Structure 1
Amino acid sequence: MGVALALVVATSGCGRLFLAFLPTVDDASSGELRGDWRGPDGAQVLLEPDGRAEVQDLGGENWDFDEGWRLSGTGTWKLIKGDEDTIGGAPAVQVVITQVTDRTQRTSDDPDERTISPQEPLSEYTWEFGMERTDEGLQPYYLAGDPDVATLYQLERVAEER
């Protein structure tokens, strides 16, 4: 199961400062990223060697996460160069889902959390995963919620069956 880390910036409006402290990787290769990954709440991300991608029950990034949907579908993935739109300006894994196969709404178990209402269907969605290098290899992650008070969701590699 993916690990969620709550990252809070004490001063409002410091999103760019916050991004500067996130882990980044400048030397990632496609080969290190190929395979099955598990995200929060049982989400799955499959990165195929030929550039195809599949996600199951993966929530949206940043503010989209607050909409409460989880998306399944197929599309493509690739490594992209870092720029002002990627996490910390570092290279990222871009996953573009162009064939949505399912969309579900999260429900809240917390009575103090606002009610999540159904949203319009999505026909396409793009995630940009940051990366961290650990003892086990690369570990992609994405940010959810308000960028100034974001939650970092890590993807964990699914062990290959032998």
Structure 2
Amino acid sequence: MRAWGAVLGGLVLVLVVLTGCAGPYQYYEGTGVHDATAAEVAGAWENIEGTRVVLRKDGTAQVEALDGSDFAFEDGWRLFGTGTWRLADEKGGQRVWLELTKRTKVTTRSPSPSPSPSAVPVAPTPTADPPSVYSWGFYVRRDQRDELELFFFVGDPDIGNTYVVSREAESSTEAP
């Protein structure tokens, strides 16, 4: 009986270890949005960090200060350049696939605000050589007003932090 208890305890321990590192991103299947059109996605997108992404109707894109996704976000670089994009309808929902094909500039992200006045902000350490080409997979979701938002995960996947870009205030579905 003790042997069975040890085996069962061992199996439970293995399952806990295997599932303990599985954060929200690792099992994320998408937003369930399947009704967005390429014309609706085309336009200018921004976030509060100064990122700007222009998705043109002809499938070309302009990228300004866009951070890396997943663990690359922690490297602190921000890319500028041109590329292509496409809207894909996948099982879990739609995604915008953005490819930076020509990098024109690289900057680094500013340090995050300190959590307290006495804390010293720490700037991210950029990698020695930021990528000259890069790909992002933005998930497509709708906000409370039924407006589109695009996002991807950043940092440690166990945490589930998202990087959200919203329609630029002056932008319409008519992209430049």
TM-score range, shorter chain: 0.7 to 0.9
SS at the partner of 1:91? strand
- Could you tell me whether the CA contact under 8 Å between 2:31 and 2:94 is conserved in 1? no
Aligned partner of 1:158 in structure 2 is 168
SS at the partner of 1:155? strand
Aligned partner of 2:67 in structure 1 is 59
Which residue of 128, 142, 155 maps to 2:137? Answer: 128
Unaligned runs of 5+ in 2: 1-18, 115-119
Aligned partner of 1:7 in structure 2 is none
Aligned partner of 1:3 in structure 2 is none
Q: How many residues matched?
A: 146
Distance in 2, Cα, partners of 1:93 & 1:115: 27
Offset of 1:44 from its aligned partner? 0.2
Distance in 2, Cα, partners of 1:123 & 1:45: 17
Aligned partner of 1:143 in structure 2 is 153
- Could you tell me whether the CA contact under 8 Å between 1:106 and 1:116 is conserved in 2? no
Aligned partner of 1:86 in structure 2 is none
Distance in 1, Cα, partners of 2:159 & 2:171: 38
- Could you tell me whether the CA contact under 8 Å between 1:76 and 1:96 is conserved in 2? yes
- RMSD value over aligned CA atoms? 2.5
Q: 1:31 to 1:103 in 2, by over 3 A?
A: same
Distance in 1, Cα, partners of 2:34 & 2:159: 25
Say whether 1:101 aligns with 2:104.
yes
Point out the structure with max Rg over C-alpha. Answer: 2
Distance in 2, Cα, partners of 1:124 & 1:161: 26
Aligned partner of 1:91 in structure 2 is 94
SS at the partner of 2:101? strand
Aligned partner of 1:70 in structure 2 is 78
What is the one-letter code of the residue matched to 1:93?
V
Identity among equivalent pairs (%): 32
SS at the partner of 2:69? coil
Unaligned runs of 5+ in 1: 1-9, 84-88
Offset of 1:156 from its aligned partner? 1.3
- Could you tell me whether the CA contact under 8 Å between 2:109 and 2:124 is conserved in 1? no
Offset of 1:113 from its aligned partner? 4.5
Offset of 1:104 from its aligned partner? 1.1
